Amino acid sequence: MQGLLNEVQEYRDRMVEWRRNIHSCPETGFHLPKTSAMVAGVLEKLGFQVHTGFAESAVLGILETGRPGNTIAVRADMDALGMQDEKDVPYRSARDGVCHACGHDVHTALLLGLASYLSEHRDQIPGGCVKLIFQPAEEGPAPGGAKLIVDSGVLDGVDAIFGAHCQPQYPAGVMGCRYGSFFASGDFFEVKLKGTGCHAASPHKGKDLISIAMEMIQAIQNIGSREIPPMKTAVISVCSINAGVLSTKNVLPSELTFGGTYRAHDGQVRDYIAGRLEQIVRDLSRMNEITCEFEDSFAFPSFANDRDITDTIYQSAAEVLGQDKVMKRPEPEMGSEDFAWYTRKYKGAFFFFGVKNEEKGLTASLHNPRFDIDEDAMVPALAVYINTLYHLLERQDV
């Protein structure tokens, strides 16, 4: 399949241009008017049936071959992050406090590259129907764009779906996948404590919310280290605490908030953590005679790669890249990915493709303000997309 890798080289410049345009004009959440309009415009020019007006700013491109075969969906996310772009490049974000630090611009450009290839090779497509889904709000707000897309019904009739994410842990031209459990569930919690504030010299006249919060946080951390069986993976992290005024060093505050997230691969473990979190916060609040508000928002479920689809991804990647470029990830991710909502309804699998290039200094991690990619990595990734799609379209047992 070296021929396919050489063939798709001609799509590099197009994908780079699309990627840089999106990168310089990032949009967040569900509100992606410019990104969605650009995607829809490209798909229309390529002769796809284009559907918009669902999941707020999602775009669906459909290509019917008119021949027997499966209906396969491929997904890309389009949204950016609310953080500053610190790169010194011509395509740096033009929006203050917003940037593509998770590679969704890359995913969108890749899927447009796939659309271009399919449009120009219609007679070579094995058959069936291709649905390209461009999704908003993978980064939130919860429950993310994937759930709204699934609930909209636009993917009804799909036999299988796959997606991918750029990965700066891997060099360009390398891909990684795994069988079974891949991403953890993601929940977020927020706790608001209220009590009587007082002078720091007279703590007995009020409630020391900071000490109470410390006790709560320690008990919360003990859930993962002492209450969850060691073979059941779970992570609980308190990520923010807000109380008092830093310049005022002699007042115990009357309000305090803290919040964080918890992740698990096992649904029962996830439910246990949810129950224990609230129990700990409310019990310690009652014991200390303060009031509390507890909010828990379920964002994404965990998901496992379908074995048959994963087999196809491994086979397709090895044919294009060579077996030595295909990595079998030994451990699941503790991060969350709203691609999980698709796999609850359709057979699906997810994989990583490398974008790191140490010689070019492109090594920053995802969600880093200096994150960037080796744009040459989009060429082998596109070849894997094409080969995987073709195999899935013609498989008899999908």
Over the stretch 132-191, which tens digit does the pLDDT of each residue have? 999 999 999 988 999 999 999 999 999 999 999 999 999 999 999 999 999 999 999 999
- Kindly tell me if the per-residue pLDDT of 2 is higher than 80: no
How large a percentage of the chain has pLDDT more than 70?
100
Count of CB atoms situated within 10 Å of the CB of 12: 15
pLDDT value, residue 398 = 82
pLDDT class of 27 with cuts at 50, 70, 90: very high
| 225 residue type, one letter | S
Task: Describe the crossing of helices 12-24 and 104-120 by its angle, rounded to 10 degrees.
Answer: 140
Rounded-to-integer distance, Cα 345 and Cα 322, Å: 32
pLDDT value, residue 162 = 99
Is 165 known to sit in a ligand binding site?
Answer: yes
Mean pLDDT of 236-250: 96
Q: Which helix (H) or strand (E) holds 370?
A: none
Is 25 known to sit in a ligand binding site?
Answer: no
| 285 residue type, one letter | S
CB 148 within 8 A of CB 57: no
Q: Does residue 79 have an active-site annotation?
A: yes
Rounded-to-integer distance, Cα 27 and Cα 24, Å: 10
Tokens, residue 201: 């010299």
pLDDT class of 209 with cuts at 50, 70, 90: very high
pLDDT class of 283 with cuts at 50, 70, 90: very high
pLDDT value, residue 228 = 96
pLDDT value, residue 216 = 99
* Average pLDDT for the chain: 97
CA distances from 260 to 223, 226, 256, 281, 369 (A): 14, 19, 14, 13, 21
Q: Which distant-in-sequence residues (6+ apart) come within 8 Å of 199 by Cβ?
A: 205, 250, 251, 252
Q: Of the listed 77, 79, 333, 372, which one is catalytic? A: 79
CB 325 within 8 A of CB 177: no
Q: Which distant-in-sequence residues (6+ apart) come within 8 Å of 82 by Cβ?
A: 28, 97, 98
- Kindly tell me if the per-residue pLDDT of 79 is higher than 80: yes
For strand 71-77 and strand 160-171, is the pairing parallel, antiparallel, or unpaired?
parallel
Is 292 known to sit in a ligand binding site?
Answer: no
pTM for this predicted structure? 0.93
Is 100 known to sit in a ligand binding site?
Answer: no
Q: Does residue 138 have an active-site annotation?
A: yes
pLDDT value, residue 1 = 63
Dmax (CA) for the chain in angstroms is 82
Is 51 known to sit in a ligand binding site?
Answer: no
- Kindly tell me if the per-residue pLDDT of 328 is higher than 70: yes
For strand 71-77 and strand 129-135, is the pairing parallel, antiparallel, or unpaired?
parallel
Q: Of the listed 138, 333, 338, 372, which one is catalytic? A: 138
Neighbouring-strand partners of residue 348: 161
pLDDT value, residue 299 = 87
Go through the domains of the chain in sequence order and give each one's CATH number: 2-183+302-394 (3.40.630.10), 185-300 (3.30.70.360)
Rounded-to-integer distance, Cα 282 and Cα 272, Å: 16
CA distances from 301 to 29, 139, 262, 368 (A): 19, 14, 12, 25
